[in-house]
Structure 1
Amino acid sequence: MSGSQTNLRAAFMASPGPCNLREAVLLCLKGVCMGGADIIPGVSGGTIAFITGIYTQLVDAIRSVDALFVRRLLRLDFTGALAEVHLRFLACLLFGILAAVVSMAGVMNYMLNVHPVEIWSLFFGLIAASIFVVGKEINPLNAVNGVLILLGAAGCYFLVGMIPVSTPETLSFIFLCGAIAICAMILPGISGAFLLLMLGKYEYVTRTLKNPFLWDNFVILAVFAAGAVVGIVLFSRVLHYLLHRWHAATVSVLTGFMIGALRKVWPWKEVLESTVIRGKIHVLRTQNVLPDAFDGGVALALGLFVVGVLVVIVLERLSNRAN
């Protein structure tokens, strides 16, 4: 092995990330969970990152892709660039996220259309349990942080009740959608998929994911990805500053976001307004209702709610044991 290869390997191994195959596989599986959550309107990959204990690492890793990294890369200083970026962490996590997004987009669309009550019940349990997991990070839990929780909950509650809009399909707007949606990926309680729904581009993007290697779809996804990179690099710096400067206050607001998001994932809904786009019915506005009677369907929904809660408990314990 040449000296340059040795230096590159040393720089790669010196960056934060998994130290062995077991840790790499575990981090990749956490990425799969994040990716699966991110394609559900109303469920946040940031929530999964919080539950699995990698939230701060995620924000720091994204923040490591900075101007110094780009300058070293442009000067072909690959050793210096590798030493700067958290590549081992990002590579494992992103592999899991992308694998989940590409493979599960069609499945999630099917479940949301054919078994909506069941899938929303599962995710309602996931988010409800996650609120307590994330809320434990608030220290101290005082009156000020309590008010921030309420403000975060109110803001998210009204946000998820907004009506999706009709928007253009130009590449510049797709770029903007990528930048906005990716920011929500690292915000617990606010789903990037839901923001895409609000921007009128959820079906548009998930449809391209079903055939990503068609040239037109590839261009759309490339532009969307470019917007996502720009958005997350900029937003991660803001979030990193807030978490390190005002940790308890920031986590309080994030916990409130998750509480407000429960409005979106309530399983039983009554459609108030819908429209037909390309022969497919799109729901614009709903209101949450209670089930008409306790039957087998309600029992199944409650069972899936419990499953969601148990998944969060298991993930948290596995994460604590790994740490």
Structure 2
Amino acid sequence: MYIINFIRGFCMALADSVPGVSGGTIAFILGFYDKFINSLNNLVSGNKKERLDSIKFLLKLGLGWIVGFLLSVLFLASIFDKEIYKISSLFIGFIIFAIPIILIEEKENILNKYQNIFFAIIGIGIVVLITYFNPVVGNGAGNISLDRLSLGLCIYIFIVAMIAISAMVLPGISGSTLLLIFGLYAPIINSIKEVLTFNFDYLPVLIVFGLGVIAGIFATIKGVKYVLLNYRSQTIYMILGLMLGSIYAVFMGPTSLEIPKSPMSIKTFNLVFFIIGGGIIVALQKLKVYLEKK
């Protein structure tokens, strides 16, 4: 199980590090999402045995996540601006192909419960409104200088980190998509790369971001578990709405770069990378079937 959990964590990291689907979506597709959520919850409020079991599971998962995230960041930071339209097309493939999988997996909570479509509309609206009214979009991420921190910027980064990690544990919109919406994706990715190359001027911002992530986990994990247990249908519809809304966010992503570019259009959309993204999601679904046989 060590190798399997390493692979699971690695795949989650690849999703978490790029705007599109969340690591939670990958956990959902690979069939260990409930165990992932319960482990996080037990880590916070479980008994001694539950905490120990959770630590063992999360450490195995975490090692794969760290390796996958670092490799992904080192690669993405070097090509993100230059190949934004190809990468965005890849992200759209992730989202579009992941939605049918969730529909199939959660059909009992979707079929004949169409009154909950209202929650999907709310999910779409949340992402679209945040993207549309975000002051960074259209002005470029260059307005956010992470090597010169102020108190206001620290608070902003902390709050966005809390929101982003909440999204990462949900099978829906990814935390990276939210970072993209709030204009912090490219700056945070570049900050991580700078620290990995021993430029520690960017370390304070990563500390602030990390504290926000920890606070977000403690603040949201019980709520996530509660709504999934008691309002699963409404939550699944909301998740689907968030995913559909994130398509708009990804299309608008190029406007949040340090040197803003036009939103992705039909002309700049890359069909090949879209298909590659979809193929990755299908491959992960096949991996889930394989792992379930083990």
Q: Does 1:59 align with 2:50?
A: no
Q: Does 1:193 align with 2:193?
A: no
Relative contact order, CA 8 A, sep 6+: which one is greater? 2
TM-score, length basis structure 2: 0.80
Partner of 2:79: 111
Which amino acid is the alignment partner of residue 320 of structure 1? V
Per-residue deviation, 1:270: 10
Partner of 1:320: 289
> Gaps spanning 5+ residues in structure 1: where?
1-22, 70-79, 293-297
Identity %, equivalent residues: 28
Cα displacement string for residues 227-266 of structure 1 (whole angstroms, at most 9, x for unaligned residues): 2112112211101000011112211111121111122334
| Aligned-partner Cα distance in 1 for 2:87–2:67 | 20
Out of 281, 292, 305, the position equivalent to 2:259 is 281
Which is strand-richer, 1 or 2? 1
Helix, strand or coil at the partner of 2:31: coil
| 1:162/1:56 CA distance change after superposition, 3 Å | farther
Q: After superposing the two structures, state which structure 1 stretch, 24-33 or 193-202, moved more.
A: 193-202
Q: After superposing the two structures, state which structure 1 stretch, 24-33 or 155-164, moved more.
A: 155-164
Partner of 2:64: 96
Q: Does 1:145 align with 2:116?
A: yes
Residues 129-140 of structure 1: matches in 2 within 5 Å?
129-136=97-104, 137-140=106-109
- Tell me if the contact between 1:65 and 1:233 (Cα under 8 Å) persists in the aligned partners: no
Per-residue deviation, 1:214: 4.8
Larger Rg belongs to:
1
Q: Does 1:303 align with 2:272?
A: yes
Partner of 1:74: none
Helix, strand or coil at the partner of 2:43: coil
Residues 1-323 of structure 1: matches in 2 within 5 Å?
23-67=1-45, 80=48, 83=51, 86-136=54-104, 137-140=106-109, 141=111, 142-165=113-136, 169-170=150-151, 171-210=154-193, 211-212=195-196, 214-266=199-251, 280-283=258-261, 286-291=262-267, 301-323=270-292
| Aligned-partner Cα distance in 2 for 1:288–1:252 | 27
Per-residue deviation, 1:195: 2.5
> Gaps spanning 5+ residues in structure 2: where?
137-142
| Aligned-partner Cα distance in 1 for 2:41–2:176 | 23
| Aligned-partner Cα distance in 1 for 2:181–2:210 | 19
Per-residue deviation, 1:303: 2.8
Q: After superposing the two structures, state which structure 1 stretch, 107-116 or 194-203, moved more.
A: 194-203
- Tell me if the contact between 1:138 and 1:252 (Cα under 8 Å) persists in the aligned partners: no
Helix, strand or coil at the partner of 1:66: helix
Aligned residues: 275
- Tell me if the contact between 2:158 and 2:208 (Cα under 8 Å) persists in the aligned partners: yes
| Aligned-partner Cα distance in 2 for 1:158–1:117 | 22
| 1:217/1:155 CA distance change after superposition, 3 Å | closer
Per-residue deviation, 1:33: 2.0
| 1:287/1:322 CA distance change after superposition, 3 Å | same
| Aligned-partner Cα distance in 1 for 2:200–2:259 | 28
Per-residue deviation, 1:208: 2.4
- Tell me if the contact between 1:125 and 1:309 (Cα under 8 Å) persists in the aligned partners: yes
- Tell me if the contact between 2:122 and 2:238 (Cα under 8 Å) persists in the aligned partners: yes
| 1:53/1:82 CA distance change after superposition, 3 Å | closer
TM-score, length basis structure 1: 0.74
- Tell me if the contact between 1:270 and 1:289 (Cα under 8 Å) persists in the aligned partners: no
Which is helix-richer, 1 or 2? 2
- Tell me if the contact between 1:188 and 1:254 (Cα under 8 Å) persists in the aligned partners: yes
| 1:104/1:229 CA distance change after superposition, 3 Å | same
| 1:43/1:263 CA distance change after superposition, 3 Å | same
Which amino acid is the alignment partner of residue 132 of structure 2? G
| Aligned-partner Cα distance in 1 for 2:253–2:230 | 43
Which amino acid is the alignment partner of residue 80 of structure 2? L
| Aligned-partner Cα distance in 2 for 1:274–1:257 | 20
Which amino acid is the alignment partner of residue 306 of structure 1? I
